[in-house]
Every structure is written in structure tokens, then in C-alpha cells.
Amino acid sequence: MKPDAIVITQKDRVKIGNNLSVWDFPVWTLKIEICVVNGREIFENKINAILN
């Protein structure tokens, strides 16, 4: 699923490297695609894998 827009609140935002703001949706491509996946743990694991 690649929504054109996502309505999200400030509390759902997660800050990662260089002031890049992402939400509780994993972002896994170099060309940043937003995919809806359940679970913050999956999100955090993927972000850690990308940043490391």
C-alpha cells in the first residue's frame, strides 16, 4: 500500500538521523516509500538496520 497522504499526529512522529521526520510507518527504500506495517518494533528494527 502506498498512500498519497497520511494524516498523523505529532505524538506519532519519530525522529531519526539528520532531522528526518518519519512516522510509525516503516520507510525502507532509498527513494523513501511509505508502507503501512503493524508494529513499532518492526519500524525500529528496520530503521536501525538502515542507519547502521
* DSSP assignment string, the chain: ---S-----GGG-EEETTTEEE-SS-B-STT--B---S-HHHHHHHHHHHH-
Q: How confident is the model at residue 51 (pLDDT cuts 50, 70, 90)?
A: confident
Maximum C-alpha span of the chain = 29
**Low-confidence winner among 33-37, 39-43, 46-50 (lowest mean pLDDT):** 33-37
Identify whether the C-beta of residue 41 lies closer than 8 Å to the C-beta of residue 23. Answer: no
So what's the pLDDT on residue 49?
78
Identify whether the C-beta of residue 23 lies closer than 8 Å to the C-beta of residue 10. Answer: no
Its pTM stands at 0.23
Model pLDDT for residues 3-36, shown as the tens digit of each residue: 555 554 444 454 444 444 554 445 444 334 444 4
